[in-house]
Structure 1
Amino acid sequence: MKFMTFNQFTIIGILLLISSSISAQCAQNTPPNLGNDTILCPGNTLQFDLSGMPNNPVFLWDDGTNLATRTISTPGIYYVDAKYIGTSIVNNGDFSQGNTGFSTNYTVGTGGSWGQLSSPGTYAINTSPSNVHNNFTFCSDHTGNNGNMMIVNGASTPGTDVWCQTVNVTPNTDYEFSTWITNVINSTNVANLQFKINGTVIGNPFLTSTVGCVWDQFFSIWNSGTATSATICVTNLNNSGGGNDFAIDDISFAPVCIQSDTIEVEYNNNPVFTLPTSYDECDGSTLTLDAENVGFDYEWSSNETTQTIQVNTSGTYSVTVSDGGYCDANQEFNVTFHSPPNAGADGVADFCDTDLNVDLFSLLDPSIDASGTWYDQLGNPITSGQLDISNLAGFNQYDYVLTSPFCPDDTSSFDLDIKTFLSAGTDFTEQFCNDGTVDLNTFISVTNPGTWTSIDGLGGNIFNPNTGVLTLDGLTKGDYTFEYVVYSDAPCTSDTAVGIIQVSELAQIQFISDLTEGCSPLTVNFSDMTIVNGSKNYTWYVDGVQVGTDSTMTYLFDDVRCYDITLSIETDNLCLKTYTESQMICVNPDPIADFKFSPASIFSDNPVVSFTNESQLNANNIWDFSGLGGSNEINPDFTFPFGEEGDYEVTLTVYSPKGCVDSTTQIIPIRDQTIYYVPNAFTPDGDNINNVFKPVMTVGIDPQMYKFEVFNRWGEKVFESNDYEVGWDGTYGGQLVKDGMYNWKITFTELKTELVITQMGTVTLLK
């Protein structure tokens, strides 16, 4: 039986009224079936599955959800509406029939510079916007097929109807109105469309995407009320023609049919268990098991049918409790009867105080349960059975108590005899040089008497085991091991301290050098020749100043004198030995090379130079005259190339009696003299002999700083030249001048001195 509230009756009544008015349109649809009213047990769930219903209805449950499946787990009345969308009653809604079945305030495009839809307020039925306007994008219809669509160049007059159609409707019926719209050009000025039915606006204004060829859907539900017809219009609200271009496709106007079903779900109670299900008892006792739930039916695994039963053996007991056979539950009881505890027999044990911590549980027979607790003489528990005996001596008694939560305790007692351990002290390692003696007793950290032993078998002349004195003299490098043994009462063991004496050797230093004397700067290489066992650290000194830390050393001696050389060697970072070789290296004095030359000014027409040797300690003298020649004389003369101006390097190398050398180089400058000649007459008579008057400039003249001028007796300049290759041909103003005497003036710069020289004179012109 299904139970419904007042609101549910109201909703169902409305649905029945609507259903009766559109029954002809909805009769072919299958109503949902939630099944019969039912009773469930606690914890059970009920699932509704309407996913297989034909015609793909849209579901609306009483809780507002709309999935095809639903699972419930509480009592109540549940209902569902199945909404079906009928067949669209719009004629030619997909424009497959072309330009028919609708009215519009737009006109069919007639063409222009951009194509058929060049003008705002025009439209076309076509398969792609790019076919009717050059700037429109290519688009398929909204289903992706090559179907028709209505393509619109939007008008700039707001409120213009783009598409209208009148259809017959059934009163009091819901209709779904939907269509698909896209922008046909990438533009931010998108179409702004309003949808109306019978002059009444439905839904919000619709804006297309700013990206071309993105189809979006307009969707709205409209109730016909008392109307028997519906005039559906799509209106353009834009007031600008730029952009505002769109396409519309698949206009649908279809009735909405609703089918419903209701189910009532009740829940019975399951048996309730509150008592424990696990029990532990001591052997010999009896336990009562209770199934609770007074008035229910009982069936025990022992075939008893009472609410309680008595048990005295371990095991699992189960009972099924039912409320008359509808909702039932099973309960299991785990029962364990335990044996009394056994702490084992009493005992005695010996220990040494070096054991520090004794595990008292190790005193028990392995068959004894080790879950008990140990107690000292004062009855204090010993944590984890670990007993610290480091400060105990003699006999001490300890009790082991084994308890059980279900049976009486049991106790066993143990006497512990604890002996004292005598220590030989800590091991030690000491390092010494092989010189003198050492008393090993110095390094023993305890006063307990013991005996010494040399592990290396050193004889009594080297090590005395009675006194512990070791003689180091003559021992080679190595580690020498000694044992000091102290004995204690059993079960304490003897103790041994191990002493290691590390002996290092003092070095007997020897070193050599590749030179013992020489000229400054003198580089000498030193090498250690010492033979000693062990690692070596070197320190070299020259006249007491540290100069090196390797086995070899190279040193540069500058000052002219003799030097002390010292080498210190530390073996094994312990044994230091130093040896000095006095006056080992001597640096001999160097000669000093120096000379003068004369004359001070040397010209290429007489390039003879005299050299004066002013050197010191110059036993031998070697002259080099710029690679042109040489001499072994003390004060030589040398003739340089005649007529060749230049700077010549002269080097003097001198050697001392000890073979030390020095050299010096000077530049010998040789220059040309300035030479020129001016004739005193010329004959410009055309016979090609002495026809031109000009100075003859030879050497030492700067050609860039030359000027030659000729004047008549009245001081008038008749000729001028800056090229000493160009002279006067005796003409002035294109005419040969008269015979007579003429004045001349030469101005030039001397190369070697950069001195400006001016010379004047006269010349006689003869024809």
Structure 2
Amino acid sequence: MKSLLTSLLFLLAVSWVGAQNCNVTVNLNPEVNLCAPGSTVFIPVITGNYLDFNWSPATNLSNPDQLITTANVDTTTTYALNINSLSATNLLFNGDFSQGDTGFYSDYIYGTGGGVGLLSNEGQYAIATNAGSTHNQFANCSDHTGGGGMMVVNASGDASNIWCQDIEVNPGSNYHFSAWVTSVVSQNPAQLQFSVNGTLLGSPFNAIPNTCNWRQFSADWSANGVSSATICIANTNFTPAGNDFALDDISFREICTTTASVTVNVTQLEADFAVPTTLCASNLPISPNTFFTSTTTPGGSWQLDGQPVVTFNPATLAPGSHTLVYNVANNNCSTSASASFNLAEPPFAGVPDYFVRCFNAAEGVAINLSDVIQNEDLNGSWQYVSGPTGSSINASTGAFTSMVPGEFQYRYTVSGNGICPDASTVQRFDLYLNPLADLPATETLDCTVPELTLSGANTSTGNNIVYSWFRDNIQLIDQFTRTLFINRGGTYVLEVRDENNNCTARDTTEVVALIDNLSLELGYQAPPCNNINGGSIQINTIQGGTPPFLVSLDGQNFLNTDQFINLGPGNYTVQVQDAGGCEAAASVDLPAPAAPEILLQTTQVGPLTLGGSASITVSSNPPLGLLDTFFWSPILDDNDRVGEKQWIVQPLETTNYQLTVRDANGCETQASILLTVRPEGAVFIPNAISPNEDGSNDRFVFFDQGAIANISSLTVFDRWGAQVYQANNLQANSSEEAWDGTFKGDLLPSGVYIYAAEVEWINGEKSFFQGDISIVR
């Protein structure tokens, strides 16, 4: 690491002045020492007035246009500070016009006077202390310094020199030409320019419109090869209107240069070194100087974790990060660098674990050797060492596969990653083939085969082979041969062991016992009346046994069905047979069909009066609710039914009621009952009325029990045969429109009256009634 040192150069009693009398001193530290490429700040102190300055060289300076600047240096460099100032001697005579109109010449003439003052005319000048005293339109401006005169000018529009003077100069010297100007009228301010030996200098200078406001303008000139000079101030404003101004304090001074220098000495020390980020903890002692780079400055000192060292042994250091520091010093400069490194533990390939593995020849064997060795570092690799061909290993994961037995060796190597030596270990193991145990997967015991012998043709044999049998995970302690006689179900296991290598094989037979008590339950449907061979038998349930089940009605043809159909009346035996050959039987009688029985009864005694009603009660076997169909003739609907087996009828004439019923088997029966009806209905005709509006017997009303459909006409006569009332289409049992014992609105007297009526019955028949009706008041 390179050290960086910033120096501030303050006042030192050092100055350098040239042959000229510049009246300027510069204080600047002449020498600065940096211990590495870096920066330093220059702070020069200047005494006296000066024009400008420059640094040389300007390279590697942060701001060469400023006195105080920063140098950024890589190598030793000397910088010079050049200060330009003006000589104390003004080479012009009477530049402040304190001597009056002398020491200069002009293309203008001195004022000749006129109506507005001394400078009434253009192209004239005057030396005065107040511009207003020379022209009544000029502002009352005093001279620049206030203690002498000034040159007041009423300029013309011609190109002309306002002021000139001849002086001696030093060839090769630089000079500074300056003057002060102010407008004395605001219109059309002056435009002026310096000239030396007839050559204009710089750019024209414009006075401002504000009067009595003095401003300085200047220009520099080099006396290249000449010893004398005619210096002038020229008018470059060619508009005569306005253009009136005053000049004062004209100066022409030699420019002198004062130089001071500073040398920045760079002493470079390099402490950087390159230590590996990781060191192996098993390495031998190390000298830190071996970590030097090509640029490291030798001769320094080392520290490890804050302790001085010349050499160190990583094996003695604690695990983790460590810091190495190198310090180097020279000529009051010093620098240091530090770097950290970690210790890498030496790789460990683990502890092998010899093992023996048995496997089936048809399946091969798969072993992850990385799971066998212990405490090994990960990300190592496996390589074959020895063993039969026909095996393979995944070098990255340690996944080993083989189809052949034998003795094997594989090496596991963990890389030291170029930091530590690689580590390796060898894993040994032996593979043997399992013997063979061969049994059928399943066997069945049933009513046909109630016992059998378990065995397998491929089971291993030999003097070194031992057999063991298990049923439902319980060892059969007296069975040690290749075969086993069985007569019950269960899970049977044969274990075969090779005594030479203790490898074993097992096979399993699931023995299903299909021997069970079997029974069945039958249902039937008797043959119907309309199909004498339409009976059927249903197998409702089968208990016990092993499905699937087959059934037979004749003991020979067994079918996979749950019913037999198209059967006539008779006794039948159904046999069932399960998957194990076990059988059972059950019998059922199919009865012949029988017609239902019905009886019709009524509570009516004798003929019915027209308009009357009667009840018909039905008795049946089976009950009506179990019958499939029944219907009346003539038709009776649900409105006529008043109970489960009772109907109310109101015949208009003598009627024979017939009921037909049919059961679910299609068997049909009929029954009938005759109800006699008189052609006329019962009617009550009162023989007196009392029309006194007491709400009782006030009208002449015919009363019946619904047999009268309409009273077609009713006529009443008094005892002399005169008609006193007549009406048509009256209703029985209604007092509306009935006779109230009046004639033409007048009450009739009490007495006996004669009536005649024609009545239409509900059956369409008509009858005539006549008799006496008395009015009682």
Which of the five TM-score ranges fits, normalised by the shorter chain? 0.3 to 0.5
Instruction: Give the structure-2-normalised TM-score.
Output: 0.37
Higher CA-based Rg: 2
Instruction: Give the structure-1-normalised TM-score.
Output: 0.38
